[in-house]
Structure 1
Amino acid sequence: MLRRQDTDKRHSMMAVTLNELVPQDHLVRKIDAAIDFSFIYDLVKDLYSEDKGRPSIDPVVLIKIPLIQYLFGIRSRRQTIKEIETNVAYHWFLGFDFHDPIPHFSTFGKNYERRFKNPNLFEQIFSHILSQAIKHGFVNTEYMYADSTHVKVVYSLKLSLF
């Protein structure tokens, strides 16, 4: 028997929490339980004004966004923001609800260019997150792979700083 899906259900209201919509075994839940991102606030506190300007985007969110991009193989900042806008698990991981505005991809990029331009800051954040990830078994340290392009760039950056 031919059955047609009732599309009127799209407009129905339900009482459900964002927490209920994200599967318990989703990778973002595992990361959230294992990685403590609070250290970032101490590292960036001098980059923010206490009493001037508009409220900022949470610096932890600014670090979690590229983490989502990398972990889930999203190719660009623009596409990452589009994915975040529609993915419930990403909303949950970033601490957003459905009414919170998602940062525009250009705002996301400008924060990196202006506020986080010091490569040592990113290295500190990356190293801290990586050590926590290794400690909790997210990273297999048995094999190491290197892309010579990236190695060359990091090496060049370090040389230019001295």
Structure 2
Amino acid sequence: MRGRPKQQTTLFSLRMPGDRVPAGHPLRRVKDMADAALAALSPTFDKMYSGTGRPSIPPEQLLKSCLLMAFYSARSERLFCEQLDYNLLFRWFLDMGMEDASFDHSTFSQNRDRLLEHDVARRFFLAVMGQAQSAGLTSSEHFSVDGSLIEAWASLKSFRPKDEKDDNQEPPDDKGNPTVNFHGQKRGNATHASTTDPEVRLARKGSGKEARRPKPGAGRPGARAASLKSARPRYRRTGR
């Protein structure tokens, strides 16, 4: 018998977003670890915000949103916030109900400095590492050092001459994705820098390869469990 689409949807639903997430989904274990680490940071969050005024977006949701953007390769915070409006998996991971509105992408830029000022990212990392150590998943006897080029969230279009003044720049035809013509121009770290992320460096793997936008860094993973135990940016002054 042929099934036909229902012309009228269900008016009320007793299901929660988490009911749609499979029991064996890997994000379930990630959520448990992240929630435990963030609970330990609650006193720090209290110091970050005023005791009066309009309630902010919970910092726990902002930090867990960064995890989702990394896991699912969200190209931008704007795109992530759009997906958050209809993605049940994302809503469940952030402890949001069906009626909760998605927050605006500007929330990230408004709160990023506050999170950096209180060293929240590093404390979050150390809290998760503490869970791994308590579970016996790490060892201080064996480790290795890995040099990596971490792809940055900065466009090649954001690289401008360092000596260029704002008065000399023409208004972009599209603020979100302006048209840029680099034909015939030579760009290097000695002469150009990213306007959106000054720490990004231009690099390529070999002659004739395309330029990439990495952040050089060093990681210290455990040799046995292959878990990252520390990470830090590493810069080298070069004109290439």
Could you state the TM-score of these two structures normalised by the residue count of structure 1?
Answer: 0.74
Could you state the TM-score of these two structures normalised by the residue count of structure 2?
Answer: 0.53
Q: What letter matches 2:45 in structure 1? A: V
Unmatched runs of 5 consecutive residues or more in structure 2: 150-214, 219-231, 236-240
Q: Which residue of 1 aligns with 2:57?
A: 57
CA deviation profile, 1:102-144 (whole Å, cap 9, x unmatched): 211111221113x2232733222223234436766999x9887
Structure with more helix by fraction? 1
Unmatched runs of 5 consecutive residues or more in structure 1: 157-162
Give, in angstroms, the shift of residue 68 of structure 1: 0.8
3-state SS of 1:147 partner? strand
Q: Which residue of 2 aligns with 1:160?
A: none
CA deviation profile, 1:16-50 (whole Å, cap 9, x unmatched): 23232221112221212334120121222211111
Q: What letter matches 1:151 in structure 2? A: G
Matches within 5 A, 1:139-150: 145-148=146-149, 149-150=215-216
Would the alpha carbon gap of residues 76 and 145 (structure 1) be closer, same or farther in structure 2, given more than 3 Å must change? farther
3-state SS of 1:151 partner? strand
CA RMSD, 1 decimal? 3.1
Q: Which residue of 1 aligns with 2:212?
A: none
Give, in angstroms, the shift of residue 154 of structure 1: 2.3
Would the alpha carbon gap of residues 132 and 87 (structure 1) be closer, same or farther in structure 2, given more than 3 Å must change? farther
Q: Is the 8 A contact 1:34 1:136 kept in 2?
A: no
3-state SS of 1:38 partner? helix
Q: Which residue of 1 aligns with 2:100?
A: 100
Give, in angstroms, the shift of residue 96 of structure 1: 0.6
Q: Which residue of 2 aligns with 1:47?
A: 48
Larger Rg: 1 or 2? 2
Matched residues, percent identical? Answer: 23
What is the CA–CA distance in structure 2 between the aligned matches of 1:7 and 1:143, rounded to whole Å? Answer: 58
Structure with more strand by fraction? 2
Would the alpha carbon gap of residues 54 and 110 (structure 1) be closer, same or farther in structure 2, given more than 3 Å must change? same
Shifted more, 64-73 versus 116-125: the winner is 116-125
How many pairs align?
Answer: 151
Q: Is the 8 A contact 2:16 2:97 kept in 1?
A: no
